[in-house]
Structures are given as C-alpha cells and as structure tokens.
Structure 1
C-alpha cells in the first residue's frame, strides 16, 4: 500500500469514529495525538507501563464535562464581606442624602462571583423589607441592604 492510500484510510477511520462516538473526542485525545506526532508514536510497551492503557483510552461524556465545568464555576464563588459600624454609617449617609437631595449615588452591590456597581437616585427606602429602590434613567431596581458593600455620592 502506498503512503497516500494509508493516509486516506486513517482519515476515513477517524471520520467514522468521530461520527459514531462524538463524545469520545476530547482535548486529551488531541494532546495524545500531538505527542505521538512529536515522539514518533507510542509503542505497545509504553501503553502497558504505569497508567498508559487507561490514558490512551480516556474519554468524557457530555454530562461529566458539564458537571466539571459547573464545579469549576462554583469554586470561584466568593464570601460576602461583613461591614463594620463606620462603613454602615457611610452607606446610610449616602442613601439618606440621595433620598433628601435627589442626587446620584453609586452603590457597590455584592455578587457571588463579582460585584456590581450601580449608579442612580434612591427613590424609596423600605425599612420593613430592608431594601432601597434605586432609579436609573429608564428603569429601577430593589436592592437589599445586606447586599450593599459601599456607597458614595
């Protein structure tokens, strides 16, 4: 057989495998193929050493991939900081000034993964529900007191 014919057969077998088992193609397979290309191939002896046989047949199903990505995303979750009395006084003064004077206040609102910075005028303070109504240009949002990290006028 000529090298061209062997190359065409390899392409065909890869295509059949890819179409039949789409979840079997993973980044590890690509890396293993590149390693084989660089080192001139893996001999059967290397596959039988250590964890070689398992490593050469590794694949991942979509459900496992989604679980791994979800776990990685959740590992970036942050803990909410606890504000002391002085910081609360600064926040309360800024909110009160925005309500009285109708001036724009900038609030840093805690998020599990990143903080949000919101600017607007505080329209209503609901002490029973412990929320403030922040009005933007064409919209508004209720923000809980406990989520406010910082406020400045």
Structure 2
C-alpha cells in the first residue's frame, strides 16, 4: 500500500461518521454529546473556611513575594467544566472585577477569585 492508500485509511478513521454508512441521526447526536461531556467535571463546592484560607494565601503572596500554585475551575457547559492550574507570584489584586494577576517566569494571567478551587504554597 502506497502513501495515497495510507492517507485514505487515515482519513476514514479520523472521520468516523463519514466512513460509516448507516448511522441514525439520534445515534450521531448521542455520540457527539458524549464526546462533548467526556472529561468534564461538575463545579466543586468550596466552603467559607476554605475560601477564606485561599484568599489569605493570595494576599500573603502579594505582601511577602512568594509563589503559590493556584487551581481554578473553567466552566464550559453549564455546571460542567475543567480545571486549570498555574504557578506564580500574585502581583496585583483587582477587587472590582474579583480577580488577581498571577505572574510566573514565562506567563501572566488573570484568575477569577470566584472560580478558585485551591491555593497552595
């Protein structure tokens, strides 16, 4: 089998619905829905004490210039979403928009306080 034959097989494998002749619309919708939801988790509930501790660590990072590891929830479909994590020093707190700026050697980003899951030293 030459290069062209390999490419045709690869295209059919990548396009599952194109290579299958008999797929009901309901089946296709269910498979697509399953793939969209797969890997997503529900937003975790954070109690007040945990939230207060996380805010304290964020504020301490600005005052004493030490790095923290921050994990936050990124919503993508209703209450479902994914987690992101980054490491850095908190350089700025925006109390109006309820967010803070996390700066590392290679990146800087704004993180919403409302989406926090954990903050560790």
Stretches of structure 2 that go unaligned for 5 or more consecutive residues are: 1-16, 75-79
1:85–1:24 Cα change, 3 Å = closer
Equivalent position to 1:59, from 22, 30, 38: 22
Residue 99 of structure 2 corresponds to 131
1:101 equivalent among 64, 72, 75: 64
Q: Out of 70, 81, 97, which is 2:32 matched to?
A: 70
State the superposition RMSD in angstroms: 2.6
Instruction: Supply the distance in 2 between the matched residues of 1:24 and 1:70 (Cα, whole angstroms).
Output: 14
The DSSP-based 3-state class of the residue aligned with 1:138 is coil
More helix by share: 1
Name which of 45, 52, 58 aligns with 1:89.
Answer: 52
Task: State the aligned residue count.
Answer: 99
Matches within 5 A, 1:32-43: none
1:122, 1:93 → 2: CA distance? 12
User: Are 1:144 and 2:106 matched, yes or no?
Assistant: no
Identify unmatched segments of 5+ residues in structure 1: 1-22, 27-57
Question: What TM-score do the two structures reach when normalised by structure 1?
Answer: 0.55
Matched residue SS, 1:87:
helix
d(CA) in 1 for partners of 2:18 and 2:91?
56
Residues 24 and 59 of structure 1 are in contact (CA less than 8 Å); yes or no, is this contact kept in structure 2?
no
1:12-46, CA deviations, whole angstroms, 9 ceiling, x for partnerless residues?
Answer: xxxxxxxxxxx6742xxxxxxxxxxxxxxxxxxxx
1:61, CA displacement in angstroms? 7.9
